[in-house]
Chain A
Amino acid sequence: AQRVTQPEKLLSVFKGAPVELKCNYSYSGSPELFWYVQYSRQRLQLLLRHISRESIKGFTADLNKGETSFHLKKPFAQEEDSAMYYCAPYAGNNRKLIWGLGTSLAVNP
């Protein structure tokens, strides 16, 4: 079965520290992967997708097919990065995403 694992429910770092939110997936084929973010009292929104290979708000994510991982990284965390982050691989030719349970990131001053 296709699964996605975000091993940390909660991640707490200090402002300016590097941050890495982990995502591992099990998927047969060529996955398309996404990170979504939900800031406090805001709607869930796309943060980035792996095929774009871009940096959004200082975050990057590299697809590692060998390790089946898509970890989200930022070298210097900011307080405004505090949010819930979801990793979501594309489930195949059926328009559905598979959602991880989410990691709540708290960036402390």
Chain B
Amino acid sequence: DVKVTQSSRYLVKRTGEKVFLECVQDMDHENMFWYRQDPGLGLRLIYFSYDVKMKEKGDIPEGYSVSREKKERFSLILESASTNQTSMYLCASSPEGLAKNIQYFGAGTRLSVL
């Protein structure tokens, strides 16, 4: 079974703090994704990475950055957290090849910015 693990289930941070959300996958997948999930807005892609040290902006990258130094780990960084970044954050991974469009998700991190 593919395992995508997000380091925290719940996080509470203060406005202006730098926040790190970590995601690790154990299936040697090339592609990794960060989404935020908000009621009524579905899933919105923040950033994705198709290889180590490679990243591409998604639909809503503003206020976020990412880091992928190792294949199994993809970090989402909020440089200066704001209240409008309160959300559920989902990490996903997918392989290359025929199954490249099947994404496997972590359990999510619910971030509250006060």
Contacts and interface: CB of A to CB of B under 8 A. Distances in A.
Contacts of A43: 4, 105-108
B100 interface: yes
Contacts of A45: 104-105
Given A43-B107, A44-B90, A95-B31, A86 B42 contact: yes
B64 interface: no
B102 A101 contact: no
Given A43-B106, A95-B48, A96-B48, A101 B42 contact: yes
A9 B35 CA distance: 20
B43 A99 contact: yes
Interface string A57-99: 0000000000000000000000000000010001000011101
Nearest first, the 5 A-B pairs at minimum CB distance are: A101-B42, A99-B43, A44-B105, A90-B101, A43-B105
Contacts of B102: 34, 46, 49
Question: Residue among B4, B35, B94, B103 with the most chain A CB within 10 A?
Answer: B103
24 contacts: A9-B40, A32-B101, A34-B101, A34-B102, A43-B108, A44-B43, A44-B90, A44-B92, A45-B104, A45-B105, A46-B102, A46-B104, A49-B101, A49-B102, A86-B42, A86-B43, A95-B31, A95-B94, A95-B100, A96-B45, A99-B42, A99-B45, A101-B41, A102-B42
Contacts of B107: 43
